[in-house]
Amino acid sequence: MSNMLNRAWHKGFYAYWFKECGSLNYLLPMFIFVIISVFVMAKGVSEALPFTICFTSICAFASVSWQSIRLQATEWHSLVPGYTKHIVKQGHIIIIVPHVILLASAIIFKQYEVLKLLSVSVLIGTLFYLKCRVTSKMFNSSAYFFFAIIGFTVVFKEVPTWLAALALFMNINLVLFRKHFGTAFKWQAQALVDYKHALQSGWSPIPKGFLKGYGQGLNKLFFPLSYFMGRSLIQYTVLVLVIFMALLSLNYFYVAGRPSLFIFSNLVCILAFMILWTRIQRQQAWGTLITLPIYSSVSEAKTAYAKACEKYALCILVCSLLLAGTIEFLRFDEPNFRLTAAYALVNTAGVLLCFSVGNYCKKTAFFSIALVFTLGFVLAITGIVVETEEVSTGSLGLACCYFIIACFANRNSSKHLYTNL
């Protein structure tokens, strides 16, 4: 019994946090963005700091919050002496360590604006974590926190000092009065339902019953991609269109400019992640699909799936063209429509590349690791295009080549779908 109560903090760390695909999906981006943030501070690229800092912070809190839902979903954890306390201690270390690294780096490299950013991001993360310790209903809204942070970094280039001070004061009060939120980690039957649903749906932020009974035409258009997704695909599509319209409105009424393009790229990458996650979780549905009297062979079914992905990417292409073209037309005296074309091609190619990598993945853990690096690569290329002042004909040609390669990769990788089934 004493061994159970006095175990070292690192015991079981790998098994609990890295073998559980939910927390792993947040831990990996957190580690990567900590490194990126330190590198960006060292180079003095202050424009990228708001996004990298806030993203690191939210990933750390989301990972621990997810495990809080897991604790609420497992009744036996309260029966093992010291188990919950041990996991909570590990969670607090996951939250504290990256923020200490960012804090120290900001002081060393004299990036004092980072301190203000941290105060706001930690406030949002702390509030979110304290709510998730008590109820599982809050976690799916984590996606909205990601979107809000991305929007915050565009609208507020610098955090006002008064806002940072207020955030710090509120943070201290949240920690001191954390018990007033309710009983933490109490077993709830609803938590198990929410846990299973989140694993299958890829942490969809959309209510389960949203658009129920609608969108049959789109389901047919994107079949068999929609076969794995159900109405979730329509829900994700509506979410993309809503944020797309919001970005258009933002650029019409407020000088947001090209950072809106990077926001949209992040959005479609998150969308691709959710689609692929849901398909991998429901891979047994493939066996049912190929038995339906629709396709004459397994190869034909795989080709149809690749074409459905291309149709979806075509929708992304149209939205990218409209968004980039509108920004160039409204905000610049000399619109650079070569940039519009290059951005649309690169953004769509990134989505197709994500689909391609997902086609090779059979396990969620491998998928998480592979897609994190793929997303990093895709967003890096998109970022280069967005920051380019003048896109030459040669650069546009490279974007076309990138798009063609991505189309070929998506079609070729579809042959490897579920080869082990």
Block residue for tokens 């429901």: 282
Residue % of the chain over a pLDDT of 90: 2
What's the pLDDT at 151?
62
Q: How far is CA 124 from CA 49, 131, 145, 215, in A?
A: 17, 11, 8, 35
Q: 276 versus 252: which is more confidently predicted?
A: 276
Q: How far apart are CA 323 and CA 99, in angstroms?
A: 35
Q: 169: which 2 tokens? A: 């004061």
State the distance between the two ends of the chain, measured CA to CA, in whole angstroms: 45
Strands (E), 241-352: none
Please determine, for residue 1, whether its predicted confidence score (pLDDT) is greater than 70: no
Averaged over 164-188, what is the pLDDT? Answer: 83
Q: How far apart are CA 124 and CA 145, in angstroms?
A: 8
Q: CB burial class (10 A; 0-12, 13-18, 19+) of residue 365?
A: middle
| CB-facing half-sphere around the CA of 261: CA atoms within 13 A | 32
Please determine, for residue 270, whether its predicted confidence score (pLDDT) is greater than 80: no
- pLDDT tens digits along 104-158: 988 888 888 888 888 888 888 888 888 888 887 777 666 566 566 666 665 666 7
CB 174 within 8 A of CB 125: no
Average pLDDT of the chain?
76
Q: 333 versus 40: which is more confidently predicted?
A: 40
What's the pLDDT at 199?
65
Q: Give the type of residue at 262.
A: F
- pLDDT tens digits along 218-261: 777 778 777 776 666 777 777 777 777 777 776 666 655 666 77
Number of Cβ within 10 Å of residue 375's Cβ equals 22
What's the pLDDT at 332?
63
Residue % of the chain over a pLDDT of 70: 76
Block residue for tokens 């996650």: 277
Confidence of residue 17 (pLDDT cuts 50, 70, 90): confident
Please determine, for residue 299, whether its predicted confidence score (pLDDT) is greater than 60: yes
Indicate the domain borders of the chain: 1-198, 206-421
Total-model pTM: 0.69
Confidence of residue 101 (pLDDT cuts 50, 70, 90): very high
Q: 159: which 2 tokens? A: 């955090």
What's the pLDDT at 364?
64
CB 347 within 8 A of CB 264: yes
Q: How far is CA 318 from CA 244, 251, 306, in A?
A: 11, 18, 19
Confidence of residue 2 (pLDDT cuts 50, 70, 90): very low
